[in-house]
Structure 1
Amino acid sequence: MLTEDQRRFLDEFVTLLVGWNMPANAARVYGFLLYQNEPASLDEIAEALEISKSNACKAAKMMESAGHIRRVPERGTKRVLYVAREDFGTPFLLRTASLGALNRLMERRGVRIAQGKANQRIQDLASFYANMQAAMEHVVAVDSKRADPII
């Protein structure tokens, strides 16, 4: 069972991540795994969060594919355990690539279709995307050096 502090933490964590379009159960699974010292099974996750094992499995798969958690095989069994990833920048790599694509779209096509103030707006937006991409790449690189490399 969760302590009152753990429950409050998860409630606030879920509220914040739902604002980023993360499903509530996925946010709860991720938040739960963040404060665990040891890998947790789907049974343990489901019991602690008071959700079905099926919902825990769906949420874990979503968080795994998003790069927030990873599987840890348990020797001698087929049981799968989950842990929060230590390399926090991983989930942002796709967003970073997307910023580069937006920048290139603005620079290559956007400036050709707009004139005057609109053209300047598109150039400014391209610059913004380039700066955001560079900043995010820097943060991810620093985090990757801090994190224990996991394959």
Structure 2
Amino acid sequence: MALSAAASSPATAPVSDARFDAEEILALALARLEDDKAEDIVSIELRGKTTIADYMVVASGRSQRHVGAIAEHLVEALKERGVKGVRIEGMPTCDWVLIDASDIIVHVFQPEVRGFYNIEKMWSAALPGGAGQMPRD
């Protein structure tokens, strides 16, 4: 399925077919993160390296409130688009929020927490030759 430019719009109607490919969910997540002014967005391809997901996205918010808002908006956008089974963890404190959309896992951190855990470096180092990391502007 191709993701249209209008798919990132909140007015997009839900899709009745709940089957999405990983690239479509990734594109929707990246567009939503950019719309919400998430910072330092990094996408790491995990396909063929692990069974937990096809892609991992790591982003930062400027504060607990910003991290929480980014996460809430992303979950809403995924659900509006018809993506089923989206799970979220970490909302009470909003230092680190994880959104699990099955094939895509999104981590939204406050900058100091992201620096402490540095998961994108860990996952890139775990991949052969560090391959798979795709920085986002």
TM-score, normalised via structure 1 length = 0.26
Compare relative contact order (CA 8 Å, sep 6+) and give the higher one, 1 or 2: 2
More helix as a share of residues: 1
